[in-house]
Amino acid sequence: PLGFSGMKFVDTTLEIEMNNGIRLPVVLDFDMVGVNQKGDTSKVNALSTLASPNQKGDTTKTLVRLSGLGTTTLKYKAPASIQYYDSTTIGAKNNETTIVELMSSNPANFTVRSRARIDGRGTLEDGMHIGGKYRMLAPFEVIMEPMTFISVTNTPVSYTHLRAHETPEHRGWGRV
């Protein structure tokens, strides 16, 4: 919130799991923009080519993981596969942030724009499909840096309930 700084999330991860039954290269492209209460903007861009099956009726799985490292794409031969066969990690570019930095900025507004496109030539066959799900992993583990608490509004302190000898001036509180 406004007036509160010095805290950041350590290990926030956004995972997008896509199952692809289209035997053509499918590109998943999405942008996330967060704007905090001070008007500061954080932007995360992710671009991944999904794994595509070799044979009609097969389905592959791609896990796109956004973390403090950037965007990691893991490709699997089937949805039930445990071991991936291809992996790439791309760090944040200039004027971009990671998902950890974006979530640590405490966005008041959060916008996601996503697109998927077929990147190549081929034939769409009956029964082809694509789908997915996502999960946000945000364990409550934070780093507390030296923090400042600034009130959004000034609140005067009244000393009317104190006796004359208990006022801040008499106790030396007002001395420099």
Q: Please tell me the distance from the alpha carbon of residue 132 to that of residue 30, in angstroms, as a whole number.
A: 14
**β-strand partners of 64:** 16, 73
Give this prediction's pTM.
Answer: 0.73
Contacts 24+ apart (CB under 8 A), 163-172: none
DSSP state of 122: -
Residue 67's nearest CA partner among 114, 103, 111 is 103
Contact (CB, 8 A) for 152 and 3: yes
Segments of the chain scoring below 70 in pLDDT:
1-8, 140-152, 155-176
Q: Please tell me the distance from the alpha carbon of residue 176 to that of residue 171, in angstroms, as a whole number.
A: 12
Q: What is the predicted pLDDT for the residue at 158?
A: 65
Q: What is the predicted pLDDT for the residue at 20?
A: 94
Q: Please tell me the distance from the alpha carbon of residue 19 to that of residue 61, in angstroms, as a whole number.
A: 5
